[in-house]
Chain A
Amino acid sequence: MPGHAFRFLIAIVAFAVLARLPVGLDAAFQFDAALALIWGFGILSLVLLTGYAGQVSLCQATFAGVGAYGAGMVVASLHGGYLLGIVVGVLFATVLGVLVGLPALRLHGITLAIVTLGIALVFDKYVFQDHLFDWFTGGTGGWQVTTASILGIPVDSSKHLLAAYDVLLALFCACAVLMVNLHQSGAGRRLRAIRDSEVAASTMGVNLTRYKLLAFALSAGMAGLGGSFYPLVTGSVSPQPFWVFTSLQLAAIGVLMGIRYVPAAALGGLFMAVVPDVLTRYGHGTFMGRAYDISYDWFQLGVGVLLVLQLILLPDGVWGDLRARTAPLSALFRARRLKEVKPA
């Protein structure tokens, strides 16, 4: 397992490479890149919650949505700085995460999935789309975040898309490193212990209440962090991106890519943002004299088919099985490291 310094180095290199990637592409692809990171945060939050701690959640998009609306409200309604908006968005999402975590203290597996799905539905229908919460959601039109400022510097989503992308990317890389650190550390082990056997975890000194709530809080906060950038990237907030189906899609693509692995979050985010856009933009035309039209619906279908194929062919997810298959290669790499660890 690479050490802390090595992980940090990888993150920096990844940041440097990925930051260059959308430069020069057209605005739509730059937008996709930023969106990929927002959904990447959503899947990363699932890696922590489901992959590490074994808690099922089908309301991660709701957490992201609360983050987005929190930020939108602060910026558009209260005219605060965007930084404050992010803080408020993350805070809102974290608080909601703890609330959702409370039933999880008693529930497991499918029942927990249903409860979180219910929460996603309730937020979709009765919070994001309800007049009662206009103060929070900005009504049916949502918040228009055309003029925002970070630390006094004015930013505009149309002009500063790449800058927003870079900030998001830096945050994502940082979170990814923290997540990998966590996995190898005591706290991460305790979370994984809860996943494998709660009974054993509690009798070995793991405070279940504390660690389950912590997992939900951190996870929701992380999803909210991604979501709070949404108004900055798109210039507005609306209920549609954070509806129930997005939550399901986050879970499905998370599992598809390998819910236990941090890099799977980046892959998943990219997949979720870019593929539908490519399909809608290039999915129609004529081929050999016949007109064809591949719409967004095909994406949903594709995800379903891929998920079935993955469960058969790559049970540990795309990244997980990729890793396992290249293990002989990386073993060569690690052979020396292992030797020095062995006790005399």
Chain B
Amino acid sequence: MTMLRVRDVGVKFGGLTALHSVSLDLNRGEILGLIGPNGAGKTTLFNCISGLVQPTSGSIFFEGRSLRFVPPHERARRGIARTFQNLQLWESMTVLENLELPMDAVGKRNTFSDALGLPMSHYAERSARERARAILHVLDLDGFGSRLAGDLPAGIQRRVELGRALAMRPKLVLLDEPAAGLDASETEKLAGLLRKVRDRFHVSMLLVDHDMSLVMKVCDYIYVLDFGQVLARGRAAEVRADRKVIAAYLGEATPELAESTEEEPSVTNSSPESLPAPRTEPGEVLLEVTGLAAGYGHLEVIRDVNLTVRAGEVVACIGANGAGKTTTLRAISGVIHARSGRVTFGGRNITGASPERIARVGLAHIPEGRGLFPNMSVEDTLRLASDTTGHRVPLTAAYDTFPRLRQRRHQAVGTLSGGEQQMVAMARAVLAKPRLLMIDEMSQGLAPTIVRQLFRMIDVFRGQGIAVLLVEQFVESALQVADRAYIFEHGTIAHEAPAEELRRDRAVISGAYLGTAAPVESTAIEVAANGSGNGHKKHPELMEILSMRVPPEVKRALEERAEKEGRPVGALALELLEEVKR
């Protein structure tokens, strides 16, 4: 039976068409996936269903009744619950309170009986608390009931949001990127949890996520959105095989990413293989960091970090989540204070200098999340570069590098897609003519096609003589563009090598990610990797691990087991992967 029927829904924000004409059907008890590149309109469709945005055209029916002019809270009462991409918990309330609130949307109680503490309020209160505890138990959140929601880590907050959505006894739960910020093992757990939730609470779900593995695993049926339209729909296997989907969402897909190194040199004239090993003459030392330590509060995140960046060089920092890459960049650019150590830039000691002074000497930092102002237009944002340089800078250079921004120059930055926003951030940074550009998680949350474009830009920057220090999740792409790489482990640099070497000898990285980068292990992994051809092509799961989604506990467990069995960690990991596949 069709529970939710979306018919030809279109949404326009001013001149911007967010949704063209989307139709979608969701059956009772189904988990429906909604995927698509950034800016495809997924969240807008969610907002239409939950009532935060009124569609400009089309109609939505829930259980046969039209939702037109039905306010959000009324939709909630009819049984539509949702979670939010940017967490919207009530942060000053405890987890239990967060769950209790949606429960009494129905019930014979009001403000006056509550204030007077009448018996019916008491009764409702007690039963709400019991139910909230039950839900927390199912979601494996038992110990968190009396903690303030705002104090919890993001991963837990996501689960609390799911709990809150379930608390109001919904018939349909809209999940907006529930796996954002989770690592591989947590995502795995979430997949199991979602299915468990569906069966226990008898809910249907509509799921938006970037993590394809989650969507493919959990969803019964998948819709693919692109440019505000339904591009394709079908079961996981069908969607995965659909050429249009591959082209739009996955970009020209992984195979080509690997091939591009061999086939594309003439096009970009900057692919790794097209230029002999040291692409630029190693210039003088531009940035030199010695013995750097920094942290937050009583927590020391990085210690004894030593790194150098020469003029015109592209250097990548890679390593698992929480290894200290972002903190290192922040300590260098003065956003946080270095606790010890020394940072020199172009021969000047900039340790402890204020961020704006450091920016003025030519060290630009694009922080994680891009640090843009959503209500400012593209042009105004770029003009800000004039503040750093001290004189008016012409914007044509930026528009020539990023032609897409010229079209959108008068649009507010907040309304751009994620990729375009990253372009704005990069353009702004480059306009100030920095000698070194530090980019933190450039590709976070972006579709692969956009990511590839952005990486190409880094090559362009190098051509302009700007050195780049990258912190990157996409190890493969980062290594293709970089000259050298530092591998971070547990708050310090464990390994340093030319990017080319790391590309060829993947063993070093996998060693760094899966255990200690010891040569014995690396050969073992190399053998394993070579045995199955290009590890990158054939082992997407391994690449997942390599691109850092291994939490420390898993790593430790792997290490322990490897030690017990007297085998290299990498080899063991590959074997386990094979097992999982089977």
**Interface residues in chain A, defined as those with a beta carbon under 8 Å from any beta carbon in chain B:** 4, 178-179, 181-182, 185-190, 192-193, 195-197, 199-208, 214, 218, 338, 343
Q: Which of B52, B84, B102, B114 contacts A187 (CB 8 A)?
A: B114
With A189-B93, A192-B90, A196-B91 already in contact, the answer to whether A204 and B117 are too (CB < 8 A) is no
Closest residue of A by beta carbon distance from B102:
A204
Asked if B93 and A192 sit within 8 Å, CB to CB, the answer is yes
Asked if B114 and A196 sit within 8 Å, CB to CB, the answer is no
Contacts of B81 in A (CB 8 A): 203-204
With A4-B117, A182-B115, A186-B121 already in contact, the answer to whether A206 and B101 are too (CB < 8 A) is yes
Q: Which of B72-80, B285-293, B416-424, B557-565 contacts A (4 or more CB under 8 A)?
A: B72-80
Looking at A195, A201, A218, the one whose CB has the most chain B CB atoms below 10 A away is A201
B96-114 contact mask (Cβ, 8 Å, vs A): 1 or 0: 0100111011010111001
Asked if B88 and A200 sit within 8 Å, CB to CB, the answer is yes
Asked if A196 and B93 sit within 8 Å, CB to CB, the answer is yes
Q: What are 28 A-B pairs with beta-carbon distances under 8 A?
A: A178-B116, A185-B115, A185-B117, A186-B100, A186-B104, A186-B109, A186-B121, A186-B128, A187-B110, A188-B114, A189-B101, A190-B101, A192-B90, A192-B93, A193-B90, A195-B92, A196-B92, A202-B71, A203-B50, A203-B81, A204-B73, A204-B101, A204-B102, A204-B164, A205-B77, A205-B168, A206-B73, A338-B146
Report the separation of the CA atoms of residues A193 and B107 in the bound assembly, to the nearest whole angstrom. Answer: 18
Closest residue of B by beta carbon distance from A194:
B90
With A207-B71, A208-B73 already in contact, the answer to whether A343 and B133 are too (CB < 8 A) is yes
Contacts of A206 in B (CB 8 A): 73, 101, 105
Asked if B76 and A203 sit within 8 Å, CB to CB, the answer is yes
Closest residue of B by beta carbon distance from A209:
B71
Contacts of A196 in B (CB 8 A): 89-93
Nearest CB of chain B from residue A12's CB, rounded to whole Å: 15
Report the separation of the CA atoms of residues A193 and B448 in the bound assembly, to the nearest whole angstrom. Answer: 38
Asked if B36 is at the interface of the complex by the 8 Å CB criterion, the answer is no
Contacts of A193 in B (CB 8 A): 90, 93, 101
Report the separation of the CA atoms of residues A207 and B52 in the bound assembly, to the nearest whole angstrom. Answer: 13
Asked if B39 is at the interface of the complex by the 8 Å CB criterion, the answer is no
Asked if A203 and B82 sit within 8 Å, CB to CB, the answer is yes
Nearest CB of chain B from residue A10's CB, rounded to whole Å: 14
Within 8 A of A (CB), among B56-90: 71-77, 80-82, 84, 88-90
Report the separation of the CA atoms of residues A218 and B111 in the bound assembly, to the nearest whole angstrom. Answer: 10
Asked if B76 and A181 sit within 8 Å, CB to CB, the answer is no
Asked if A200 and B89 sit within 8 Å, CB to CB, the answer is yes
With A192-B90, A196-B91 already in contact, the answer to whether A203 and B100 are too (CB < 8 A) is no
Closest residue of A by beta carbon distance from B137:
A343
With A181-B114, A186-B100, A186-B124 already in contact, the answer to whether A207 and B90 are too (CB < 8 A) is no
Asked if B186 is at the interface of the complex by the 8 Å CB criterion, the answer is no
Asked if B25 is at the interface of the complex by the 8 Å CB criterion, the answer is no
Contacts of B88 in A (CB 8 A): 197, 199-200
Looking at B52, B90, B121, the one whose CB has the most chain A CB atoms below 10 A away is B90
Contacts of B93 in A (CB 8 A): 189, 192-193, 196
Closest residue of B by beta carbon distance from A204:
B102
Q: Given contacts A187-B110, A188-B114, A202-B76, could you give 5 more A-B pairs where the C-beta distance is less than 8 Å?
A: A182-B114, A189-B93, A195-B92, A205-B73, A208-B73
Asked if B541 is at the interface of the complex by the 8 Å CB criterion, the answer is no
Contacts of B168 in A (CB 8 A): 204-205
Asked if B125 is at the interface of the complex by the 8 Å CB criterion, the answer is yes
Asked if B55 is at the interface of the complex by the 8 Å CB criterion, the answer is no
Asked if B111 and A199 sit within 8 Å, CB to CB, the answer is no
Nearest CB of chain B from residue A151's CB, rounded to whole Å: 24
Asked if B90 and A200 sit within 8 Å, CB to CB, the answer is yes
Contacts of B100 in A (CB 8 A): 186, 189
With A190-B101, A192-B93, A343-B133 already in contact, the answer to whether A200 and B84 are too (CB < 8 A) is yes
Nearest CB of chain A from residue B147's CB, rounded to whole Å: 13
Contacts of A204 in B (CB 8 A): 73, 76, 81, 101-102, 105, 164-165, 168
Report the separation of the CA atoms of residues A208 and B76 in the bound assembly, to the nearest whole angstrom. Answer: 13
Asked if B125 and A186 sit within 8 Å, CB to CB, the answer is yes
Nearest CB of chain B from residue A225's CB, rounded to whole Å: 14
Report the separation of the CA atoms of residues A200 and B83 in the bound assembly, to the nearest whole angstrom. Answer: 8
Asked if B91 and A205 sit within 8 Å, CB to CB, the answer is no
Nearest CB of chain B from residue A343's CB, rounded to whole Å: 6
Contacts of B164 in A (CB 8 A): 200, 204
Contacts of A189 in B (CB 8 A): 93, 97, 100-101
Contacts of A199 in B (CB 8 A): 52, 84, 88
Report the separation of the CA atoms of residues A206 and B71 in the bound assembly, to the nearest whole angstrom. Answer: 10
Asked if A214 and B111 sit within 8 Å, CB to CB, the answer is yes
Asked if B115 and A205 sit within 8 Å, CB to CB, the answer is no
Asked if B51 is at the interface of the complex by the 8 Å CB criterion, the answer is yes
With A203-B51, A204-B102, A343-B133 already in contact, the answer to whether A197 and B90 are too (CB < 8 A) is yes
Report the separation of the CA atoms of residues A92 and B198 in the bound assembly, to the nearest whole angstrom. Answer: 52
Closest residue of A by beta carbon distance from B101:
A189
Asked if A182 and B72 sit within 8 Å, CB to CB, the answer is no
Nearest CB of chain A from residue B558's CB, rounded to whole Å: 35
With A178-B116, A200-B88, A204-B164 already in contact, the answer to whether A185 and B121 are too (CB < 8 A) is yes
Closest residue of A by beta carbon distance from B174:
A203
Contacts of B52 in A (CB 8 A): 199, 202-203
Report the separation of the CA atoms of residues A205 and B75 in the bound assembly, to the nearest whole angstrom. Answer: 7
Contacts of A200 in B (CB 8 A): 84, 88-90, 164
Report the separation of the CA atoms of residues A193 and B98 in the bound assembly, to the nearest whole angstrom. Answer: 8
Report the separation of the CA atoms of residues A181 and B73 in the bound assembly, to the nearest whole angstrom. Answer: 24
Nearest CB of chain A from residue B14's CB, rounded to whole Å: 19
Contacts of B146 in A (CB 8 A): 338
Contacts of B77 in A (CB 8 A): 205
Closest residue of A by beta carbon distance from B165:
A204
Contacts of A4 in B (CB 8 A): 117
Nearest CB of chain A from residue B574's CB, rounded to whole Å: 43
Report the separation of the CA atoms of residues A277 and B104 in the bound assembly, to the nearest whole angstrom. Answer: 47
Report the separation of the CA atoms of residues A182 and B121 in the bound assembly, to the nearest whole angstrom. Answer: 11
Asked if B101 and A186 sit within 8 Å, CB to CB, the answer is yes
Nearest CB of chain B from residue A274's CB, rounded to whole Å: 29
With A192-B90, A197-B88 already in contact, the answer to whether A205 and B76 are too (CB < 8 A) is yes
Contacts of A181 in B (CB 8 A): 114-117
Contacts of B91 in A (CB 8 A): 196-197
Report the separation of the CA atoms of residues A131 and B401 in the bound assembly, to the nearest whole angstrom. Answer: 68
Closest residue of B by beta carbon distance from A260:
B92
Closest residue of A by beta carbon distance from B80:
A203
Asked if B51 and A185 sit within 8 Å, CB to CB, the answer is no
Report the separation of the CA atoms of residues A86 and B21 in the bound assembly, to the nearest whole angstrom. Answer: 58
Contacts of B80 in A (CB 8 A): 203
Q: Which of A182, A192, A197, A343 contacts B111 (CB 8 A)?
A: A182
Looking at B52, B121, B168, the one whose CB has the most chain A CB atoms below 10 A away is B121
Asked if B72 and A187 sit within 8 Å, CB to CB, the answer is no
Report the separation of the CA atoms of residues A214 and B114 in the bound assembly, to the nearest whole angstrom. Answer: 14
Closest residue of A by beta carbon distance from B161:
A200
Contacts of B102 in A (CB 8 A): 204-205
Contacts of B101 in A (CB 8 A): 186, 189-190, 193, 204, 206
Report the separation of the CA atoms of residues A239 and B72 in the bound assembly, to the nearest whole angstrom. Answer: 43
Nearest CB of chain A from residue B120's CB, rounded to whole Å: 11
Q: Which of A192, A203, A207, A208 contacts B92 (CB 8 A)?
A: A192
Report the separation of the CA atoms of residues A196 and B110 in the bound assembly, to the nearest whole angstrom. Answer: 21
Report the separation of the CA atoms of residues A332 and B193 in the bound assembly, to the nearest whole angstrom. Answer: 37
Report the separation of the CA atoms of residues A7 and B146 in the bound assembly, to the nearest whole angstrom. Answer: 21
Looking at B72, B89, B146, the one whose CB has the most chain A CB atoms below 10 A away is B72
Looking at A195, A202, A208, the one whose CB has the most chain B CB atoms below 10 A away is A202
Asked if B115 and A207 sit within 8 Å, CB to CB, the answer is no
Report the separation of the CA atoms of residues A4 and B146 in the bound assembly, to the nearest whole angstrom. Answer: 20
Contacts of B114 in A (CB 8 A): 181-182, 185-188
Contacts of A186 in B (CB 8 A): 100-101, 104, 107, 109, 114, 121, 124-125, 128
Closest residue of A by beta carbon distance from B134:
A343
* 7 nearest CB pairs, A to B: A205-B105, A185-B114, A205-B76, A196-B90, A200-B88, A202-B72, A187-B111
